Amino acid sequence: MKNLIATAAFGLEAIVKREVEALGFTDIKVQDGRIDFGVGGKSVFEGIPKANLWLRCSDRVLLNMGEFKALTFDELFEKTKALDWGALIPKNGKFTVLAKAVRSQLMSLSDIQSIVKKAVVEKLKQKYNIEHFEEDGPEYTIQAAILKDTVTITIDTTGQRNALHKRGYRERAYEAPLKETMAAALISLSYWKPGRLLLDPTCGSGTLAIEAALMQKNIAPGLNRGFASEAWRQIPSGTWKEERKKAYSAIKLSTEPMIYASDIDPQAVEVAGNNAIEAGVDDCIVFEAKPLSEISLPGDYGIAISNPPYGERLGRMEEIHKLYSEMGSLFKNPTWSVYVLTSDEFFEESYGKRADKKRKLFNGNIKTDYYQYFGKRPK
């Protein structure tokens, strides 16, 4: 239990690494889908509140219990049992086991779950000298992930039912909403910084605009939600309270409206506005119900970020390609940089211009491209 793991969607590892570095964590190592990090000589438990409160683009923060090779189920049992479970899980702890396996000798997920659960129970029996566990205390979600016969055993500090993308402000969604973590990543991959103009011309539930506003006001994304590890006895008393206190004091209260969001559907704009109020950022976003063809750019040297409808989502390809064409017309201003996430392979043809750069990302299970058009830089 010397390090934590921040999970990352495919293609976003570098963004999450940058966040982890900015938070002051140490011993950072990047692997596919994960960033391992330490807390600089302190107890690993002291880093759990800060990581959960501030990471914008990661899905979860996991406590790494141990890693080992296992070619048989007997090896899996014995090496899992050897881990120090009694140092973390109390005798009334409630725990479940999840499993996944890729290119491993051990491929039966149900057997992996059963064996890991049995190994943990046997170790706790030795620790507490009891045969029956009430399991009415704090929750612990154990994850056994096997990749090429290497087993990584972790415990989810975030909470299985509430991944980090569930910020708590989106009471209502509109059609196929973008995850908050993905929206934050799209913004981080752009040239936008707080204080620059930002426009989302197809805002839907307003997630992109709201995530940008949270950055502009420096509001910790996890500030208004709870985490499974808040009930863990190992986290020093008052650590959660102190980290939240620091996060509240870091909020920038005075900000100008520099973020603009619009959608053709008035109902979507109403939902987006209510979500912004819930997030506490409605003072720095201007919402409008307008078709894309009627939008006017709010100034020069702005950044546009959009997650427009995909063919998979609406099935009206002619309408979608017309929308992309209107988007190309709107952003002919050479001072604007434009970023568009879509799965449509013919986007550039409809937009009317080849992208300066493309980046492959997965929006949920949908394979997409992030098209990037770079405008002139401000003087």
Nearest C-alpha neighbor of 170 from the set 99, 67, 20, 276: 276
The tens digit of pLDDT for each residue in 162-212 reads 899 999 898 766 666 799 999 999 999 999 999 899 999 999 999 999 999
Query: Are 203 and 269 in contact, with CB atoms under 8 Å apart?
Result: yes
Cα–Cα distance measured from residue 202 to residue 208, given in angstroms and rounded to the nearest whole number? 10
- pTM for this predicted structure: 0.93
One domain for residues 140 and 235: no
One domain for residues 50 and 140: yes
Cβ contacts of 274 within 8 Å, gap of 6 or more: 171, 172
Cα–Cα distance measured from residue 283 to residue 217, given in angstroms and rounded to the nearest whole number? 10
Q: Which of 141, 156, 171 is the last residue of a domain?
A: 156
Query: Are 79 and 151 in contact, with CB atoms under 8 Å apart?
Result: yes
Cα–Cα distance measured from residue 165 to residue 57, given in angstroms and rounded to the nearest whole number? 8
One domain for residues 111 and 188: no
Cα–Cα distance measured from residue 331 to residue 318, given in angstroms and rounded to the nearest whole number? 20
In the numeric block, the tokens 């090496």 are attached to: 79
One domain for residues 199 and 61: no
**When comparing pLDDT for 35 and 137, which is higher?**
35
One domain for residues 76 and 134: yes
One domain for residues 259 and 312: yes
The tens digit of pLDDT for each residue in 265-319 reads 999 999 999 999 999 999 999 999 999 999 999 999 999 999 998 755 445 788 8
CATH of the domain at 148: 3.30.2130.30
pLDDT of residue 251: 96
HEC secondary structure over 126-189: HHHCCCCCCCCCCEEEEEEEEECCEEEEEEECCCCCCCCCCCCCCCCCCCCCCCHHHHHHHHHC
User: Does residue 195 fall inside a structural domain?
Assistant: yes
Query: Are 56 and 19 in contact, with CB atoms under 8 Å apart?
Result: yes
Over range 100-123, report the average pLDDT.
95
pLDDT of residue 41: 78
Q: Which of 156, 171, 192 is the last residue of a domain?
A: 156
User: Does residue 171 fall inside a structural domain?
Assistant: no
User: Does residue 26 fall inside a structural domain?
Assistant: yes
Cα–Cα distance measured from residue 292 to residue 201, given in angstroms and rounded to the nearest whole number? 6
pLDDT of residue 135: 84
One domain for residues 307 and 210: yes
Cα–Cα distance measured from residue 329 to residue 198, given in angstroms and rounded to the nearest whole number? 18
Nearest C-alpha neighbor of 325 from the set 347, 357, 354, 299: 347
Tokens matching residue 341: 């996430």
pLDDT of residue 311: 58
Cα–Cα distance measured from residue 52 to residue 47, given in angstroms and rounded to the nearest whole number? 9
One domain for residues 113 and 204: no
The tens digit of pLDDT for each residue in 340-351 reads 999 999 999 999
Percent of the chain scoring above 90 in pLDDT: 84
One domain for residues 135 and 187: no
Over range 241-245, report the average pLDDT.
96
Cα–Cα distance measured from residue 16 to residue 35, given in angstroms and rounded to the nearest whole number? 7
∠ CA 40-42-46 to the nearest 5 degrees? 110
Look up the domain containing 307 and give its range.
180-220+227-373
Tokens matching residue 182: 């993905």
Over range 94-112, report the average pLDDT.
94
One domain for residues 123 and 201: no
User: Does residue 192 fall inside a structural domain?
Assistant: yes
User: Does residue 162 fall inside a structural domain?
Assistant: no
Nearest C-alpha neighbor of 36 from the set 8, 69, 68: 8
> What's the whole-number average pLDDT of the chain?
93
One domain for residues 112 and 252: no
User: Does residue 14 fall inside a structural domain?
Assistant: yes
pLDDT of residue 132: 84
Cα–Cα distance measured from residue 297 to residue 260, given in angstroms and rounded to the nearest whole number? 9
User: Does residue 168 fall inside a structural domain?
Assistant: no
Cα–Cα distance measured from residue 130 to residue 132, given in angstroms and rounded to the nearest whole number? 6
User: Does residue 161 fall inside a structural domain?
Assistant: no
DSSP H helical ranges for 23-108: 48-54, 73-81
Residue 1 has pLDDT above 90, yes or no: no
CATH of the domain at 364: 3.40.50.150
Give the number of domains in the chain.
Answer: 2
Residue 335 CB: number of other CB atoms within 10 A? Answer: 15
One domain for residues 132 and 84: yes
pLDDT band of residue 42 (cuts 50, 70, 90) is: confident
